[in-house]
Amino acid sequence: MLAVGEAELRAGRPAAIFKLTVLLGMYQARRDRLIQAQQRGLSKAEVALLTSPGKLALLVTTSDCPALRQVETFETACRPWKCKGQVTCNHPEVRGCPVREAGTILRRTGVLGKLPTSAWLQLYHRRRWSTVLKEILEQETDPCRRAQLLVTYFEQLAGLGPKVSTLLVSALSTPALAPGLAPLWPDFDGHDLVVLDTHANRLLDLLRPKGSPRTARAREQWLRLQAKEIDLRCYHPNLPQYSPRLVQQALYWFGSRSNRLAHGDPCAQEPEKACSACVPTFCPFGLNPKKRLS
């Protein structure tokens, strides 16, 4: 029920972009496996409330909430929060609120409950997605800068920060990450983007010189410098020469225990035959050999 259809995503249809935005937005400040378990446990009705444009359209257009009357004021007029484990807001008298219902389903912060409605208003309602793409294409000629402008647009959606916004845009505009499923490429180029999450920050801090500033800007600058030294065409002819996004993704995969276990990594399956060229301070199995098979 939660999967985004490949054909719809390949075509860049607004409904697929909307659904992908909501689903990726759930993966914030919590382990992937926990979110995946939560998503698998959602009922059909809960999935529809979170990811169905038709369901959101019905709820938003029939609601009596004054915060939903104007797209331009929704982000500031709607203020949800949690009180004693329950999601409430500055208009508690309104019944059938899509924001409160989403917040209850997601079981996270009240603000994250705004994401489905915010995404519907900013991406789907009145063909807004097509309008946004057209405006950026007319404003900027460089595909990499276009991708960054789109990241900035996504950041204004409730519940989306820089990390998820960058992850989303790079997924839509970096073909090497998902061949055939990057509908914005080549008009938008995500190869120059960098996704900095807790996992990436930890790995970068292990690799950088001791005493390096532990700021997002410093980490990103260091990664970009390293990426300039790596010609990705040596690994595959279809890859670009330079891509901080792909270098960062490689770091993520190498440092992710769960991903390497899932792909039968020899370091996890046969430790006695592996690690001849290991980076023990960086490899998750080298850091804690006792958990190789966990």
- Strand segments (E) across 7-49: none
In a domain, 189, yes or no: no
Pairwise CA distance, residues 147 & 252, whole Å: 21
The model's pLDDT over 186-206, given as tens digits with 9 standing for 90+, comes to: 999 999 999 988 888 988 998
DSSP state of 241: S
Q: Which two tokens stand for residue 203?
A: 């790995």
Residue 116: which pLDDT band, with cuts at 50, 70 and 90? very high
Same domain flag for 133 and 252: no
The C-alpha R_g of the chain, in whole angstroms, comes to 21
Q: Considering 142, 160, 184, which residue would you say is the last residue of a domain?
A: 184
Range of the domain at 242: 198-291
Pairwise CA distance, residues 265 & 112, whole Å: 35
Question: What HEC string does 4-71 produce?
Answer: CCHHHHHCCCHHHHHHHHHHHHCCCCCCHHHHHHHHHCCCHHHHHHHHCHHHHHHHHHHCCCHHHCCH
- Residue 274 pLDDT more than 80? no
Same domain flag for 10 and 123: yes
What phi and psi, each to the nearest 5 degrees, are found at residue 87?
-85, 125
The model's pLDDT over 47-96, given as tens digits with 9 standing for 90+, comes to: 999 999 999 999 999 999 999 988 888 999 999 999 988 999 999 999 88
What global pTM score does this model have?
0.89
The model's pLDDT over 199-238, given as tens digits with 9 standing for 90+, comes to: 889 889 988 999 999 999 999 999 999 999 999 999 999 9
The average pLDDT across 255-281 equals 73
**Residues present in the chain in total:** 294
Residue 140: which pLDDT band, with cuts at 50, 70 and 90? very high
What phi and psi, each to the nearest 5 degrees, are found at residue 160?
-105, 125
Helix, strand or coil for residue 82? strand
Q: Which two tokens stand for residue 29?
A: 């400040």
- Residues linked to residue 88 through DSSP beta bridges, in sequence order: 81
With a pLDDT cut of 70, the percent of the chain lying above it is 92
Q: Which two tokens stand for residue 280?
A: 């023990």
Number of domains in the chain: 2
